Amino acid sequence: MILNTITNGVVLDHIQAGGAMEIYKALNLDKLECQVAIIKNATSVKMGRKDILKICEPIDVNLDVLGYLAPGVTVSIIEDSKVVKRKHIEPPETIEGVIKCKNPRCITSIEQELPNIFKLTDRENLVYRCIYCETQNKKKQGDIK
């Protein structure tokens, strides 16, 4: 398979195999007018198999969404066909407005204007807890609101 190089844009690399579509949807990449390439099950020395997203336009990427959905992903910023910045994404300590509290008694269920804020309580297992009611939210497929 041959893919053209990106002149200006963003590459999301080291996505766990099968995870590219969830990131594509969560970042609303379908609304972009530019080319977006999804490479699934690419061979990787470190991971065995991985997914890659190539976006042929400079965009602001929500790092909290990436850190929650795909910790360990690498974001590369491309300018004039060269990597000018590369960042390894870790799970964020707190996330706001990314996931919704599932506790029907939580204040965020009653007071709709309150933001959903979660704090990372177990980095190893990626467990987040609501700051209002302490309800646990362990990342699962399709978790983004």
Task: Please report whether residue 4 resides in a domain.
Answer: no
84 & 98 share domain: no
Domain that holds residue 23: 9-88
Domain count, the chain: 2
How high is the pLDDT of residue 97? Answer: 86
Q: Domain check: are 44 and 81 in the same one?
A: yes
pLDDT in tens, 35-68: 899 999 888 888 899 999 999 999 888 889 899 9
| pLDDT score at 145 | 45
Q: Is position 144 within any domain?
A: no
**Which CATH number do you get for residue 106?**
2.30.30.20
Domain membership of residue 145 (yes or no) is no
Domain membership flag for residue 143: no
Supply the pTM of this predicted model.
0.80
> Side-chain half-sphere of 53: how many Cα atoms within 13 Å?
29
CATH of the domain at 50: 3.30.70.140
Is residue 53 domain-shared with residue 29, that is, in the same domain?
A: yes
Task: Give strand pairing partners of 118.
Answer: 95, 130
Q: What is the dihedral of CA 103, 108, 112, 113, to 10 degrees?
A: -160
- Residue 69 near residue 22, CB atoms below 8 Å: yes
- Domain-embedded: residue 54: yes
26 by DSSP, 3-state: which? helix
125 within domain boundaries: yes
**81 and 14 in a common domain:** yes
pLDDT at res. 141: 47
Same domain, 34 and 81: yes
Residues of the chain with pLDDT under 50: 141-142, 144-145
